[in-house]
Amino acid sequence: MNRSNIISALLFSLAIVIAAYLLGNAFMHRNKSEKKISVVGLGKTDFTSDLIVWEGSFSAFDQDIKRAYNRLNRDKEIVEKYLIGKGIDKDEIVFSAVQTTNKTRPIYLENGNYAGEEFLGYELTQNVTVKSKKVETVEKVGREITELLNKGVKFYSYSPRYYYTKLEDLKLEMISKATENARNRAEKIAENSGAHLGKLIHAKMGVFQITGQYSDEDYSWGGTFNTSSKEKTASITMKLTYGIK
């Protein structure tokens, strides 16, 4: 065997020994996992909505569509003047396009057979939306809107919706609280176990939830976003995984 063949054989044998060592070492430590701890922290706070959206509608009915439209237009002016008089700014009031419905009723013969439809007239409806930061002012308007009936306006009021314009800032605050809460829990668990908290390995944010205060609303996997309550509670969870030593 020449010298080059001897060297090749030696290198090959050495490679086999190293590979066997590495495989054996991996087998011996296959059940040894990294020591770590996972905790979930909660961030929660109460807040008051600073934006209200309130909607209503009014309608007019007549067999002549032009008369119905003129009556509806008159009612629109009355509604707008009323809202402005109650302290709502004109640029906070938005009127939708007019919706027209042909009103009919079925006709039946004496023997009970259906004989077609009888035209009764045109019903024109228009919605009005108020979006304002003057929450209490709009709430009061919603309670007193029946005063329009005395002015001859057939007005229907809907429940207001409440929002918060600083939601992104609130989310950051909640994430900070949840992270701090989770770390405090992890430190306490590690301390009680006679260990020390190591570096942060992984962090996962949970779903942001907004519910009405003192309500029995259920949390949702997709997130709950309450709009019916002025007083709300925001919460979020953070799952942190730390190494321990």
For residue 238, the surrounding DSSP H or E stretch is: strand 231-244
Amino acid letter, 56: G
Distance CA 242, CA 240 (A): 7
Which pLDDT band, with edges at 50, 70 and 90, does 218 fall under?
A: low
> How much is the pLDDT for 54?
97
> How much is the pLDDT for 26?
42
Pair 41, 181: CB distance under 8 Å = yes
Which pLDDT band, with edges at 50, 70 and 90, does 114 fall under?
A: confident
Instruction: Taking residues 118-122, report their average pLDDT.
Output: 91
Pair 175, 206: CB distance under 8 Å = no
Strand positions, DSSP E, 27-163: 36-48, 51-62, 93-95, 99-108, 114-132, 155-157, 161-163
Q: Residue-wise over 13-44: b if at least 16 C-beta within 10 A, else e?
A: eeeeeeeeeeeeeeeeeeeeeeeebebebebe
User: CA torsion 177→182→187→192, rounded to 10°?
Assistant: 130
Instruction: Taking residues 30-51, report their average pLDDT.
Output: 82
Instruction: Taking residues 27-31, report their average pLDDT.
Output: 43
Categorise residue 152: left if φ over 0, alpha if ψ from -120 to 50, beta otherwise: left
218 vs 239 pLDDT, higher one: 239
Query: Helix, strand, coil proportions of the chain in percent (round to 5)?
Result: 40, 35, 25
> And the tokens for 216?
């029995």
- Phi–psi pair at 87, nearest 5 degrees: 105, 10
In this structure, of 28-32, 57-61, 159-163, the range with the lowest mean pLDDT score is 28-32
Q: Indicate the pTM of the whole model.
A: 0.76
What is the 8-class DSSP label of residue 211? Answer: E
23 vs 211 pLDDT, higher one: 211
Instruction: Taking residues 48-60, report their average pLDDT.
Output: 96
> How much is the pLDDT for 190?
85
Does residue 9 register a pLDDT over 60? no
Does residue 219 register a pLDDT over 90? no
